Structure 1
Amino acid sequence: MTSQASDILSQFDDELVEVLDSPIIQGPLSYLDGYNYKARRYSKVWHHTPVDRNEVILNSKSKSVWRCKYCSTEYQEFGGTTAVSNHLKLRHDIDISSVQEARTVLMQANIAEAFKKA
Structure 2
Amino acid sequence: MALQPFDILSELDSEPFETPDSPVLNRTLSSPSITTSATTKKRYSKVWHHTPVDRNEVTLNAKGKSIWRCKHCTKEYLESGGTTVIAGHLKDQHNIDISSTQEARTALMQANIADAFEKA
Using the size of structure 2 for normalisation, the TM-score is 0.56
Residue ranges of structure 1 left out of the alignment (5+ in a row): 1-16, 30-37, 106-118
Change (3 A) 1:40 1:89: same
Change (3 A) 1:45 1:64: same
Look up the SS of the partner of 2:86 in the other structure. helix
Q: Residue 74 of structure 1 corresponds to which residue in structure 2? A: 76
Structure (1/2) with the larger helix percentage: 1
Structure 1 residue ranges (4+ consecutive) displaced by more than 2 angstroms after TM superposition: 19-22, 98-105
Task: Pick the structure with greater CA Rg.
Answer: 2
CA RMSD, 1 decimal: 2.8
Percent of aligned positions with the same letter in both sequences?
Answer: 62
Q: Residue 34 of structure 2 corresponds to which residue in structure 1? A: 23
Q: Residue 6 of structure 2 corresponds to which residue in structure 1? A: none
1:12-70 per-residue CA deviation (whole Å, 9 max, x = no partner) reads xxxxx9x9577111x323xxxxxxxx313100000000000110101111110000001
Superposed displacement of residue 79, structure 1: 2.9
Using the size of structure 1 for normalisation, the TM-score is 0.57
Alignment length (residue pairs): 79
Structure (1/2) with the larger strand percentage: 2
